[in-house]
Structure 1
């Protein structure tokens, strides 16, 4: 069980400028925070942080996890305040529905500040944030209706509508300026001019359609061209900045508020300003909705840093309390929790001390909840239900990445090649066992795949050679390389060819970005043979197509062109003296563990690729 304190460390780290700052705010050593975060990654089986160019930033999985963890921490704080509230207070619920994309910082940070201030003034109001634009975490709205005796209110946060009628019904929270955002070294005395940034390369992340339309109108009006629209979530700004270091991002300013991964980022306001209104609409305006809107307006205009999260109650204590509340006997609850009765009683006592009073009356025939216990029960059930939602693979934010595999694969000559077909079969196999799984496939040469894994652009990649410091899993596939020629040119007699003979032919080879070329060059260097390619072609289908037109030779595993060999168009001559074999590996980042679906894919690939050696021998 991931405890609330661990989640609090995680949320504080993400919202701080650095681990050092977060550790100082939490009052712990940086090493303690780092160790705790690594343990959290192992617990949830996800990579939560990436490091590029000495810059640490949260991954998309971290963004999903914080969105699920934040309501838990808010509910724990509310539970303590609610239990201590006057006995005559009636529980109220305020749902704040946000129709914008979730990012760490900006609006989400302001929302948390407003919830905290609301709790101080109105400990009877449970503020329940709902990010309606994010679909991967179902909302437990029905839980609040079970409370029964409380009144519910709803506020909707959205982009402003320009129509006069809509404006009358809405309260403007913020006029969010658009800015050019880019990284600058610390201590830079003069920032770039807006005109220079506008004239250079610009990129826009995957904002909501109204924002994209607003940006497009702005570019058209001011004759700004060459803008690239990305498919990357706006919460991934740190990674986008590293992917496009020569570009400036054009985004609303709230997206670049300081937090982990966005240090040394400057925001330059365009010479011709552009603003987006963020508004609040209350379904039935009253004193509670008006008070919250005022707190949120204030929080959005402040630059106050996020406070350190400090939960007092543990999830384990909440679970034990819910068991006792339901079963009314400590002995039965202890059996249900699979712990000793004294251990459970001790945790209930610690919970009562934290909440400032008894939660149960002890009787000979069982436990009866006190008024405080009845109050705590309403929130305790909500917290445990939301934790189950967070931790399960079906709906949990922490399982967001385990429901998605971003796989990097090597380029293939055509769709009939052995490797591409076996990868396809393995993916379909995993998809059948995980119907909700989303597969993202990206093709690139060996060296690029390694870089993508390091940078977190793909989770796992199938490669031919690997960096020595990277974790790798052998796929059990080993296939000899062969000289591939077209039969019409009669370049080679039947049978094998030595590497020295190969060096005397006109070769069409890929560049050294490809693992296959690295294998060839390594073997040639070891045997004091120099390969001088007649042409270098990184497009493998083109390299094969040119064999029919020119008397040149390329090098591939024979299975890559087995149909062409079977048809008699191409011939494969195994390379000997030395024999050069391609071995396939799956690589992944050493900063995380593989998810269950990724492990399933690796096992399926091993099964599917177990026969290439037999098939390849039949092709020669």
Structure 2
């Protein structure tokens, strides 16, 4: 392992996203992913689980993070200390805050630390965000939220944000409407004083606040997976990247809630702690103005340069180092000179009798030797148990509306048959719309996607599954749509509720209506088909989908299906996949089994 690889790992843990970690490290995503896979191989362990909304660090990754993060902090500080030609002894300072390492407040803390290091390089700061646990007691600054009861504007204040799933037609450029604080609302870990204040504050409306054990970013990830719910959290406690997610709405509800302020608990007798708090106040104000600004990863020397330097320090001879490492002498000399250039001074006095460490070399050894030894121990003690490899097939399917729908019945039968034929291959099934499933396929979140046939990704391997007609669905006995078939030209007269244009079903309808020269302007766009069906059942609305998707509602006469004629509209389902795994020939069998089950059910 080397510094660059570990910086990639740290960024992936903190950002919980390969793409965001790549941006933070200023590299391409494939480069970062490859290095993390190499680290997993070296450690003989799995570090991340991949989910539809990002990464989940495993327990092994969390343990490694807690050991590695302070080492990189020490190496980063030491590099700045050496380059500044500082000779004063180190003054340790620990900064503890109960939020994730990617939160805006943690980012402000690190910016404050860098600003302080420019003035006092001897101050060695170690950060303890929520991923790190508790900090030592000595030299400790604790940062957290509190209630600003005075509310006189002199404290460093923060905003309350309400976060939920956005509607399909929400325009972020439009000034958002007020969002009522009603219903069930989840909150991240917050100090006791804030929890008590929320109990007695006159918020208004019927609401229930649920205090969770996770941080705000964990709650947002769960919200995106469940596709429902709302979260209330301080702005500075959240990773700003998460607030830009296109599926979320974000509302400032500060005026309706107890005013927040940032509290900095420190020993005022310690000049270093006072200086850090002063720098942090300035950085919090700056972070609120420019939350999008990323924190660059610190520049560290190459691990190979440091290893050559430390061996030369011990051996006193470049020639002996080259011989023991089995490399040519010029290569060792070149790497040491590159390190000298990076640190801004000579590490050795070179004479005919050999090399002699300078004062800079002694400082560099004091900084880097403990870090490299700790990393060497990490590399020498990988997980002793071999990784238990489990063969898994990840399948993305379209959402089912009731358990009697054709697709649900066919999927159930396919799963049962798969377990008989491929008992050693675990199935994982996730649901979403066609466009999302295709994105997940490209991002290696799923291996196979069951989608509508309309897509432009011609490089995908496809299996045609089933063709079925679309119908117009209305409440039973609805006056504006008499029983029986309906002409395509008459559909536009109905109060239509349809999914947005990112939905495969809507893309099919738009194309067919355009081909017929007919307008298609729904009264309401709603991506949740379950919510659309519920609205249709209430009366006065209509939607378009296969009748097979709502079989139970048709059997109970809660809905009526009107076949579309002149012309009819057919939806084709396809199983699509990428040819990633040449050694997994059984991967394509799932589509064949599903096609056979669909054919069997429709022939009855």
TM-score, scaled to structure 2:
0.54
Report the Cα distance in structure 1 between the residues aligned to 2:242 and 2:415, rounded to whole angstroms.
Answer: 43
Aligned residue in 1 for 2:252: 268
Q: How does 1:85-234 map to 2 (within 5 A)?
A: 85-86=84-85, 89-131=87-129, 134-135=132-133, 154-159=139-144, 174-184=156-166, 187-190=171-174, 193=177, 195-196=179-180, 198-205=181-188, 207=189, 210=192, 213-214=195-196, 217=199, 224-234=206-216
Aligned residue in 1 for 2:356: 368
Q: How does 1:401-550 map to 2 (within 5 A)?
A: 466-467=393-394, 518=413
Whether contact under 8 Å (1:101, 1:131) holds in the other structure is yes
Report the Cα distance in structure 1 between the residues aligned to 2:148 and 2:253, rounded to whole angstroms.
Answer: 26
Change (3 A) 1:582 1:12: closer
- Describe the SS at the equivalent of 2:375: helix
Q: Of the two structures, which has the highest relative contact order with CA contacts closer than 8 Å and spacing of 6 or more?
A: 1
Spell out, residue by residue over 1:226-282, the C-alpha distance to the aligned partner (whole angstroms, 9 max, x if none): 444445444424422213322111122222231368534524325422344432233
Q: How does 1:373-412 map to 2 (within 5 A)?
A: 373-388=361-376
Aligned residue in 1 for 2:537: none
Report the Cα distance in structure 1 between the residues aligned to 2:422 and 2:193, rounded to whole angstroms.
Answer: 48
RMSD of Structure 2 on Structure 1 (CA): 5.1
1:355 to 2:340 alignment: no
TM-score, scaled to structure 1:
0.53
Deviation at 1:468, TM superposition (A): 6.4
Aligned residue in 1 for 2:231: 249
Aligned residues: 414
Structure 2 residue ranges without an equivalent (≥5): 398-403, 430-442, 446-604
Structure 1 residue ranges without an equivalent (≥5): 142-151, 395-401, 403-429, 438-458, 471-508, 524-556, 558-579, 593-620
- Describe the SS at the equivalent of 1:302: helix
Deviation at 1:292, TM superposition (A): 1.4
1:306 to 2:294 alignment: yes
Whether contact under 8 Å (2:201, 2:258) holds in the other structure is no
Whether contact under 8 Å (1:63, 1:235) holds in the other structure is no
Change (3 A) 1:284 1:10: same
Report the Cα distance in structure 2 between the residues aligned to 1:175 and 1:106, rounded to whole angstroms.
Answer: 14
Report the Cα distance in structure 1 between the residues aligned to 2:155 and 2:63, rounded to whole angstroms.
Answer: 25
Spell out, residue by residue over 1:498-527, the C-alpha distance to the aligned partner (whole angstroms, 9 max, x if none): xxxxxxxxxxx9x9979995258759xxxx
Change (3 A) 1:117 1:17: farther
Spell out, residue by residue over 1:338-369, the C-alpha distance to the aligned partner (whole angstroms, 9 max, x if none): 65555433322221121122112345665432
Report the Cα distance in structure 1 between the residues aligned to 2:242 and 2:320, rounded to whole angstroms.
Answer: 45
Spell out, residue by residue over 1:567-594, the C-alpha distance to the aligned partner (whole angstroms, 9 max, x if none): xxxxxxxxxxxxx6672434689969xx
